[in-house]
Structure formats: C-alpha cells, structure tokens
Amino acid sequence: MLKAGIIGLPNVGKSTLFNALTNSYALAANYPFATIEPNIGIVSVIDERVDYLAKIYNPKKKTYTTFNFIDIAGLVKGASQGEGLGNQFLANIRTSDAIVHVVRAFIDEDIIHVNGVVNPIDDINTINIELKLADMEVINKRLDKIGKRLTLQTPEMIMEINLLNKVLAILNSDKFFDQEMKNFSGEELDILSNYQLLSSKPVIYVFNVLDEQISNLASNPFYDEIIKFTTKNNLEYSFIASKLESELIELSSEERKLYLQEFQITESSLEQVVKKTYAMLGLRTFLTCGSDECRSWTFKAGMNARACSGIIHSDFEKGFIKAEVLSFSDLQAYGSMANAKAQGKLRIEGKDYLMADGDIVLFRFNL
C-alpha cells in the first residue's frame, strides 16, 4: 500500500495532525523528538460518490478506499549529518511515496520552536536543505565510485554520470527538485528511481494555523508571505488547524458538521489534505456497487481494466472477459443505472481500456 510520510521540524503539529488523520493517539508532546519510532496509520479517503451510490442501492455496508500515513520524527538542522534523529528520519522518508510537510504558521509562546522564532519559509528551507544534502551525498558517492572505473566506463555509465551531474546542479540551486522532475526523460527517471532521492518525492505543504484563523486565513500574520512563496514555486499546499481537527475526532458526523459551522467552514481541512495527497500520489478511484456493498477502489493513473480487476481479486484478472463501465457523472445526470443504460451510457470495455477516475465498473470473468 502506498504511504505518505508526515514530516516537519519538532513541535509544528505533526503528531496532532496524524492523530486527527488516523483517529489514533500518537504521542503529541511539547518537546523535540517526542516521536522517535514512526507511527503508521490507515486513512480512509471519504468519497461522496460512494455515499451517493449507497443512497441508491442501500447496501449492507459501504467502504471507502484507504492509504497509509506515517508520522516521522521531527528533523533539525544538521539531520543529513546525523544530528537529532537525522539518520532515522531520512530513512523513513526514503521509504515513503510522498511527503506531507507540516509547517508551523502560528505564534504561541507556550509551545517551543526549535529555532527560537516562528518563520514558515525559513522552516521549509531548513528541511529542504537537509534533504538536498542527503541526496548530494548519495550522488557524490556514486560519481566517485564510477569515476574510479575510467577504463571500464560504458555508454550507460557515461549517461548516468551526465544525469547525476545534472541532478547535482539542480540540488545546488534554490529550485525544488520535485518540481523539476517534469523536465527529465522517461529513461532518466528510470535511472533516478534506483536512488530513491528524498528531494524527488512529491510534497504537499500543510501550514498549521490557530483555530480562529482557519475561517479567515488573511488574519494569519504569515499568510501573504506563504501565498507568495508557494505561488512563485508552484507548490501544492493546504492550511489546517490541527488542534481544531483533533477535537473533532470524538464527534459524530452530524456533530462535526455543526462544530465546523461555528468556525464558518463547510469542509474539514483535514479531508482536503487527504484528497490532495491522494491525487498527488497519482492515485485514482473506481467504484463498485450492489446490494451487498458500495465501495471505492484505488488504482494508479494509466492502469487498464484487466489490471484494475486484479485489485479486487486476482481471479478477476486471470479470467478477465470484459468490463461493464458507467461514468459516475452519467449516473448522476440520468439518476439511475437503468436510465443511463437506456441512453446508451453503459459501455462494454476490453482488457486494454484505460480506467478513468469515477468509473463505476462490473467486471465479468470466467475461471
């Protein structure tokens, strides 16, 4: 299962966010390195389309798709050289598929800031520099190893050398490496995948604000600077009041809606973070429905019908015959499966059909 690593400096609200995300109770304390061993939790991706289908089919149960979040120990300056829990921190990031970078954007004298002063942009740069330094060490070791084999260098090695020097140039700049990935060829990306570079992982920046600021973000003293910085660098971001979200854990869905209304919020910022992280991982959703269960399933963009059938059960993929597909938007437009079918919207697709987000599917198979 794909997983997103939650990172940040100590005391920025990582564990509080993790608790709210996973409805668990990881230690959230006001001192550095409260989180030593990473906490792992499974998060449901709330999908209104599943709710819509459930109203039509009244199933015995409804199930949302899930993916993992991992709460990683706080990082400090010098982590790339092993400061704090640096080595452990970096190893846990390396095994993550994406990064949720929590940034403190609130002032509270009762909560320690590891650098003594709250500055969201400086905090982002502190961590990004450490990730870059760790990556540069990996690359330089590889270049040194290849360089010692001058007489044995192949065209593939020469290409790798040129690529790694290209990467080093980016890491030595003020550019965000994950944003530069689009400029690499497929062959280059295949080579780089072997290195699991920390800086190459997609990132969403989650700015943690005070409860009373979430409904009026312009009241946050760092808001203008954050918007300018994220826009300039084309960064994915979200704002969240993790303390508020953690207070919603014990409430029912109806109570939660009423509580959010008090803060003039229509949707939980927590759900926004989950959905943005899900999309950032290149994940999409197909749906199945019936009287037993209405359910959403995760697949990677670009997967075909046969491969997606295997997500439900390997037997489906082995004996795949066809897929009956209806777009969720068509179901909404016509009100029922029968009406959509009468209008010719139900399609029969073969094994090579590329699945689309929101496809409602019935797989036919034969063993």
Residue type, 152: L
- List, edge to edge, every strand of the sheet that includes 3-7: 39-44, 66-71, 3-7, 98-104, 203-208, 236-240
User: How far is the CA of 103 from the CAs of 137, 209, 246, 336, in angstroms?
Assistant: 26, 9, 17, 45
What token pair was written down for 291? Answer: 């009287």
- pLDDT number for residue 16: 82
From first to last of the 367 residues of the chain, give the pLDDT tens digit. Answer: 678 888 888 888 888 888 888 775 444 444 444 444 567 888 888 899 999 999 999 999 999 998 888 887 665 555 445 444 445 567 778 888 899 999 999 988 878 777 778 999 999 998 899 889 989 999 999 998 887 766 677 888 889 999 999 999 999 999 999 999 999 999 999 999 999 899 999 999 999 999 889 889 999 999 999 999 999 999 999 999 888 888 877 777 778 778 778 777 777 788 888 888 888 888 999 999 999 999 999 999 999 999 999 999 999 999 999 999 999 999 999 999 999 999 999 999 999 999 999 999 999 999 7
> Three-class SS of residue 293?
strand
pLDDT digits (tens, 9 = 90+) for 156-212: 888 999 999 999 999 999 999 999 999 999 999 999 999 989 999 999 999 999 988
Range list of H helices, 208-304? 223-232, 242-247, 253-262, 269-280
pLDDT in tens, 68-105: 888 876 655 554 454 444 455 677 788 888 999 999 99
Q: What is the pTM of this model?
A: 0.82
First-residue to last-residue Cα distance in the chain: 27
Sequence-distant (6+) residues with CB within 8 A of 17 are 6, 100, 102, 206, 208, 240, 242, 245, 270, 273
Q: How far apart are CA 246 and CA 241, in angstroms?
A: 9
Helix (H, G, I), strand (E, B) or coil at 236: strand
